[in-house]
Amino acid sequence: MRVSYQWLREYVDVDISPRELAERLTLAGLAVDAVDEPGAGIEKVVTGRILKIEKHPNADKLVVCTVDVGQGEPLQIVTGATNVRAGHVVPVALEGAKLAGGLQIKRSKLRGVESRGMLCSGQELGMETKLLTPEMAHGVLILPENVAVGVDAREVLGLNDAVLELDLTPNRGDALSMVGVAREVAALLNKELKMPNPQPAESEEKIDRQVRVDIQAPDLCRRYVARLIKGIKIGPSPMWLQNRLRAAGVRPINNVVDVTNYVMLELGQPLHAFDYDKINNGHIIVRRAAEGEKTVSLDGVERTLSADMLVIADAAGPVAVAGVMGGQDSEVTEATVNVLIESAYFHPTCVRRTSKGLGLRSESSLRFEKGVDINGCLKAAERAVELIRQLAGGTVVAGVVDNFPRPVTEKTVSLRPWRVNRVLGVDIPRQDIVDIMQRLQFRVQEQGDDLLVTVPTCRPDITGEWDLVEEVARIYGFDRIPETLPFGASTQGRRTPEQQLLWEIRDVMTACGFYETVTYSFVHPRIFDLMNLPADSPFRNAVRLQNPLSEEQSVMRTVLVPSLLEVLQRNLHRQVQYGALFEIARVFYPVEGQALPEEVPVLAAVAVGQRPRTWNQPALPMDFFFMKGVAEQLLASLGFTETVFARHQDPSFHPGRCARIEINGQLLGVVGELHPDVIENYELSQRAVALKLDLRQLILVKRPIKQYRGLPKFPLVERDLAVLVKQEVLAAELLSVIKKAGGNLLKHADIFDVYQGSQVPEGYKSVAISMVFQAPDRTLTDEEINDKMQRITNSLTAQTGAVLRQ
């Protein structure tokens, strides 16, 4: 909503600057985004009358004008404009003038002829071309003949104004009008509100037999007012009206249409003007459109209507789309003599649906969508015919057609002053609260300790006492409400154990060099084929959307790894050869007999390529062992030290490079290299590895409590052991046997080498293990270490068949 400061002062005696007013309105809840001063920086531009025009002696495309600017001797000005004629009144930039954009005018010679100024176009004065009338949009601005000479052009064109751009909330449709904003300003400044009081002079001719209105859809049109004015003359609007429309962002058209737009901007009630002679028998029918019915709107486009749209029709068919746009067959043209004015209330939802369905959005539909004052229809029609009679002549036919099946009365809300002070934390006297209500044009009656507040129908956003409390706070001033500290019982904010676990997982994964991603929960069904899932896989049982945006997002995902692979694929296509990504999100499993699926939190990670070298680490291939190390690091950081990795078969993973992850016999997830078919399906140029963890199961596993101990005082002892063992024996089995046999004195055991070659019998492998022993209370002796080593060797031989390598 654009509010002209000069126009606003017709309704309220505003005695503060536009910028101060903008601040006051913003603090009161009507946010002002900007204050535009269109004439700022323009100097020494006046009106002038062209006395004569002569051809330029040295240029075919230039003319020499003699212009009277009301300052003594006429000026000689050279111009290339082709639309000027002798007698035209135009804006003239004098010597030393400043125009929009900082252009300065100096005395100059054009092809040998002296020019003492410049004839100005609208663009040179900072005016928007789209808001100018057709005759003013091209070339030099041609002003009305009755404009005085030598007057400041900014005043004539309304450029000495300030325009406030309001960003209104959806509930404040009442502020989409000059009177609505003026009502707020009057309340804020405690000034008198001067409302227009139309009283059009009428002829003796009656409207009864000339106009008839039937409302066949009273649920969509609750009131329809029609007035008739005859014998008008279509022409341009006076400058004051054009200036106000342009300030509000509306292009002037002609005096009748401009009046309807002016009243809409002034009172907030959209109007429409019909050429009365084009309405069949003057009979207006407000009805639902027939399915597939067509009409040609004012923009010349044929529109196809649906049955949920409302139209204004006569016996021959639609003449307008209700609340959105008029029809071409009944529009006001230069030949129009008799005009029928429509002022109605259309259901906001219907107008919104129609506007969206037709792709038409207008100033009228914007106001109908937010809800107009149903009791303001008649006043708007009266105001329009009064102005049309003044600007276009004609006579107003006596009487009005007002089809109002169910009149709406003003609602009354009870307000408790003590409650106002309790909620706001202030001590506003009772009389001040009454005064604020009355300043907002609310009527107040005393009822014991309470107040009965009658709210006008122009404020449909006021529904209860809490809304009136807000009104008191706005007008009283939010900045006057003292700051107070909260009181009462308080609790310390902290994360739940589940939230803390997820944050720790994020920290570890990012520390391992992974980037977190966020992908859509909706996926394409083909991901199950891309991931090599068999036809009977339970993961294919996905929730299908009833109204998907596209087939690409038609089911809810049951697996998370494909979403990350799509990101990797997109990056690799853009020459990003390295990628390590993870995501913590939910997958969705349908539950038989339940409307909603089961949501399971999971962690997925994928990596491809080779991790770049850093200052303290060499380049590292992103293979199975890398991802397994990430999984071990993650689980160890969370406190899970008894993690087991065992061989596993998963159709999405390489059959020989895949392991399941278990804790206390509970399957938590899978880690491994992706199946070659999956890599090919996602067009990855190299091997990729993945990790998936069921965080729901991880949350259920009881995390060990961290215990902190002092640094050991006694030295550690390192021993290495090399054994020969059959190839099918897993390294994890060896480590499990060693840790059990080593007891409390064994602190660490790691495999650092696996060898198969000419020095090892066929079917066997050589495994080298590094072990660290340490006691918290003494220095270990050789006898103790040797005893532990012997126990470990015997256990390996007995349980795995391993023998010491000689």
Residues 307-333 as b/e (b if ≥16 CB within 10 A, e otherwise) read eebbbbbbeebbbbbbbbbbbbbbbbe
Q: Does 470 carry a binding-site annotation?
A: yes
Cα distance between residue 46 and residue 71, in whole Å: 10
Hey, what amino acid is at 179?
Answer: V
How many H-runs (helices) and E-runs (strands) does the chain carry?
21, 41
Say how many CA atoms lie within 13 Å of 4 toward its Cβ: 24
CB of 599 closer than 8 Å to CB of 588:
yes
Computed on alpha carbons and rounded to an integer, the radius of gyration of the chain in Å comes to 41
Q: Write the burial class of residue 568 (CB in 10 Å: 0-12 exposed, 13-18 middle, 19+ buried).
A: buried
**Residue 149 to residues 127, 153, 215, 599, 785: CA-CA distances in angstroms?**
21, 10, 53, 78, 114
Say how many CA atoms lie within 13 Å of 780 toward its Cβ: 23
Phi, psi of 755 (to 5 degrees): -130, 135
Hey, what amino acid is at 587?
Answer: V
In the beta sheet, which residues pair with residue 805? none
Vertex 444, ends 441 and 449: CA angle to 5°? Answer: 150
Vertex 182, ends 177 and 185: CA angle to 5°? Answer: 135
Cα distance between residue 386 and residue 384, in whole Å: 5
Q: Does 331 carry a binding-site annotation?
A: no
Is 769 in a helix, a strand, or coil? strand
* Sign of the four-CA dihedral 378, 380, 383, 389: negative
Residues 763-790 as b/e (b if ≥16 CB within 10 A, e otherwise) read ebbbbebebebbbeeeebeeeebeebbe
Six token digits for residue 328: 């071409």
Which residue is listed with tokens 């003292």?
A: 482
Phi, psi of 317 (to 5 degrees): 145, -175
Closest CA to 667 of 692, 704, 630: 692
Q: Does 219 carry a binding-site annotation?
A: no
Helical ranges in 276-398 per DSSP H: 348-358, 363-370, 377-392
State the Cα torsion 771-772-777-780 to the nearest 10°: 70
Phi, psi of 24 (to 5 degrees): -65, -40
Hey, what amino acid is at 133?
Answer: T
Six token digits for residue 466: 């809490």
Q: Concatenated DSSP letters for 8-69?
A: HTTTS---S-HHHHHHHHHHTT-EEEEEE-TTTT-EEEEEEEEEEEEE-TT-TT-EEEEEE-
Say how many CA atoms lie within 13 Å of 407 toward its Cβ: 4
DSSP state letter for 532: T
Closest CA to 327 of 357, 303, 359, 354: 303
Vertex 635, ends 633 and 637: CA angle to 5°? Answer: 65
Sheet arrangement for strand 598-608: 515-516, 579-589, 598-608, 688-694, 666-674, 653-663, 643-647
Q: How far is CA 181 from the centre of its chain?
A: 25
Q: Does 471 carry a binding-site annotation?
A: yes
Binding site residue list: 461, 467, 470-471
Residues that constitute the known binding site for Mg(2+): 461, 467, 470-471
